[in-house]
Structure formats: structure tokens, C-alpha cells
Amino acid sequence: MADTNKLHSINTSRILRTIWLNPGISRIKVAELLDLDRSTVTKIMQGILSEGIVVTTGKNTEQSGVGRRQINLEINESIGVVLGIELQNARYSMVVTTITGQVLKRFSGTLLTDGTNLIRNLHELIETARSWTREQGLGMLGIGIGLPGIIDPYKGLVIRSNPFHSPEPVSVRDELQKLVSEYVFIENDANCCCWGELAFNRENRDRNFMVVLGEFRDLVTTGPGFHGLAIGLGLVVREKVLHGDHFTAGEYRSICATRETGQFHIPGSRLTALPEDTVLLREVYQELAENLALIVNCVDCTKIVFCGDLAAHRENLQELVAQAIEYNWIYDLERTFLIGFSEHGEHAVAMGAAGLFIEKLFSVPDVADRFHELVGYDLYCRILSRAQTR
């Protein structure tokens, strides 16, 4: 016999996710889409309406025929705000957003970070954001954090991060949960951008797409550090962010690169001129485009979104990528493909980190990436419980 509490949690999460993805939907339509009895939906709706996570928004004026007008349902945007954080080795970016992605506050600045002070710096940033939310009378639902390196998002673990000079694993989530009451999710920075595209650009749910995060920053390799362009990829297949068996999916390295040159065939000593040297920048973009074309055509992506500094220094990147994809393709088949740039600029990763938390809040426990993840209605109940004990 199925665990009734677990079944209730799953069905409640399914209903919440359906309402979140279809604002203005009716209970009858929810029941039809999920193949649930109307009585089951009605009973669950009574609970989540009383908890305030869902609100009614009037009657459906477009309903045809006779009978009682169906009541529209939406997620209550005022249930709380979400904090998204990006922390690099020399700077940070934060956003406070509503669950619909409306940015209420942005923070950014310089902050030197490595493996020895990573937890302390994150805690200080969270406290800074919390002070602002308290002044505004806003409740914080949770926190998403984007970090560079190889990340196990299910354990909340930084496995390896060269930018943080961190060769050993760091239990970021467990250490932070000792210091903050809000639930925390962490993720690779490029993957965060994927979550943001899923959470805030719903049309992306119907396609496989790639995010390319490019940032001009101080890099650390096995040898001396240097200033250059750091590239990270994020891949989304059927609404799932691809992590890989070792959590290294998206690690970019040009097929022309060598151990001495880093991510590109161009030596690091030359990359110090980026992004001001536009001739060199176009050379780098040409190499990047050729490598991306190979991945795009192999995975059958239909969209690329460029994030971070690449959005501010576009040059002829869009044209080069389009040409490379076409040149790499061997079939005479018509395809639609989009190449876009994130609108969030330097805050793209922080926005994505907020999107990560929101996606988890409206996920379904039995279909999440890992069944034991605290997501969906279970996560919301944990948030309510912690709020009541503060």
C-alpha cells in the first residue's frame, strides 16, 4: 500500500507545479491535466489556499457555455522572496527576486574569496541581503548559490574549484545550514544560468538548449594565474539540467587547446588583452563558435543563450556561431535555431541561482533529479515550519 502522506505530498506538488506553469488555470483544468479526481484536487486546494501559497484571481471570463464560472488560480507572489548569489574569487553579485523573477534589489562588489573563507563570505553576503529584506518587511523563502567549479548540487558540495584554490571538497550547504535558517541550494555557475532560463523563460521548456557563460576574470590553472576569458557550458535536455555522472558536464575545453594554453589554443599570455583587443576577441569567438557547433549538432539543441560578459561584448559572436553550426551540419533539412543573449548582464548567474531555488520549490518529489531531494510541497512545509519557530 502506498504511503498516503507521500502520495499527498506528490499530488500537492504536482498541483502546485501545474498552477505555477499555467497561471490562471482552473481546478477543473488542473484535474484534467493531471488525471486526478476533482474531489482530490478540491481537497488539496483547500489546504494550499488556506496556507496562502495559492490565491484565486477571479472567475474565468473566457469560459463558454452555461454553468458556474470556473475560478482562476495563481501562485501567491507575496509568499516571500528568493535570494540568488553568485560568488567568484574576486567579486560577487546578488539579487532579491519575487517567485516570478521580478528583481527587487541588486547587490554587487569586490570580495576576495578562496577555500579558506568561502563559507564566511557567503554567510556575510546572506546577512547583508537579509538586513535589506527585513527593512522592507519581506520574508525570505530560500537561497540559491552559483559557484565556479565542479559542484555536486544534491550534496551541496564543492568537489573542486580552481578559482577558489580549493583542491579538496567543501561542504558548502551543510556548513551554511548551521548558520542560516533558510534552505540553501548550490550549483555550478553556468548551470545556474540554465535554471534561470527554465524558471523565467517558459518557452525554453519546449526545447533542448545550451547556455554559454563567459566571464573575463583572473584565472587559475595548474601553473601561474592569468587574466583571460573563462567559459562554462550548461546543457538542458527535456527540461533537465545535465550534470553528468561525475558532475563535470559543461566543462569547456577547445579541441585545439593544449595543456599549456588553457581553454583555447591561444596562449594565456595573449588573453590578458581581452576584452579590449577586439581583433583577438573575434579570433577567440571564432574558435568558440566552431567548438559549440559540434556540441549543438550532436545534442540537437535548438537554442544557445550567451550569459555573463559575453552579453556585454557581443561583437560578431552571433554571426560566427550561426555560420559554424550551418557549416558543421551535413543534412539538407530545415531547422529552426535561436541565438540569444541574457538580459541580466553581470547578474545572470545570481538570477539563475534564484531560478534554481524557485524551480526546486515547484518540483515534484518523485520526478526530481534525486528522489530524496527536499523539493516541492515538502520544501514549502519546511519553510513554513522554520518561519513559525523564528
Same domain? For 286 and 366 the reply is no
- Exposure string over 99-119, b if 16+ CB within 10 A, otherwise e: bebeeeebbeeebebeeeebb
Same domain? For 58 and 101 the reply is no
233 lies in a domain?
yes
DSSP 373: S
Same domain? For 33 and 164 the reply is no
The pLDDT of residue 3 is: 61
Same domain? For 254 and 321 the reply is yes
**Residues contacting residue 327 through CB under 8 Å, at least 6 positions apart:** 293
- Is 142:82 a contact under the CB 8 Å cutoff? yes
Same domain? For 179 and 228 the reply is no
Same domain? For 124 and 186 the reply is yes
- Is 349:108 a contact under the CB 8 Å cutoff? no
199 lies in a domain?
no
Q: What is the CATH number of the domain that holds 68?
A: 1.10.10.10
100 lies in a domain?
yes
**Residues contacting residue 83 through CB under 8 Å, at least 6 positions apart:** 94, 95, 96, 126, 129, 130, 133, 140, 142, 143, 144, 182, 354
358 lies in a domain?
yes
**pTM of full prediction above 0.85:** yes
Going by C-alpha positions, the residue among 168, 330, 133, 307 that lies closest to residue 230 is 307
Same domain? For 34 and 133 the reply is no
- Is 292:327 a contact under the CB 8 Å cutoff? no
Q: What is the CA radius of gyration of the chain?
A: 22
- Cis preceding linkage at 275, omega within 30: yes
pLDDT along the chain (390 residues), means of 10: 74 96 95 95 94 83 51 93 97 97 97 96 98 97 97 96 91 96 97 97 92 81 60 95 95 90 87 91 96 94 95 95 94 90 95 98 75 86 79
Domain carrying residue 46: 4-78
Domain closes at, from 17, 46, 78: 78
Neighbours of 19 (CB within 10 A): 25
Instruction: Please state whether beta strands 140-147 and 183-188 pair in parallel, antiparallel, or not at all (unpaired).
Output: parallel
**Residues contacting residue 126 through CB under 8 Å, at least 6 positions apart:** 83, 85, 143, 176, 180, 182
- Is 355:113 a contact under the CB 8 Å cutoff? no
- Crossing angle (nearest 10°) for helices 348-361 and 189-200: 60
Residues in the chain, total: 390
197 lies in a domain?
no
Same domain? For 213 and 147 the reply is no
**Residues contacting residue 383 through CB under 8 Å, at least 6 positions apart:** 80, 141, 142, 182, 183
Domain closes at, from 78, 97, 118: 78
Same domain? For 70 and 96 the reply is no
198 lies in a domain?
no
Same domain? For 362 and 290 the reply is no
31 lies in a domain?
yes
DSSP 69: P
Going by C-alpha positions, the residue among 67, 94, 69, 66 that lies closest to residue 82 is 94
The domain tally of the chain equals 3
Same domain? For 215 and 326 the reply is yes
Domain closes at, from 53, 78, 103: 78
Give the C-alpha separation, 340 to 143, whole Å.
27
226 lies in a domain?
yes
Q: Where are the beta strands (DSSP E) in the chain?
A: 54-59, 71-75, 81-87, 91-97, 103-110, 140-147, 150-152, 157-160, 183-188, 209-219, 226-237, 240-241, 303-308, 338-341
Same domain? For 58 and 102 the reply is no
Give the C-alpha separation, 114 to 121, whole Å.
9
Q: Is the dihedral of CA 63, 68, 72, 78 positive or negative?
A: positive
Question: What are phi and psi for residue 22, nearest 5 degrees?
Answer: -135, 65
Q: What is the CATH number of the domain that holds 316?
A: 3.30.420.40
The percent of the chain in helix, strand and coil, each rounded to the nearest 5, is 40, 25, 35
Give the C-alpha separation, 6 to 90, whole Å.
44
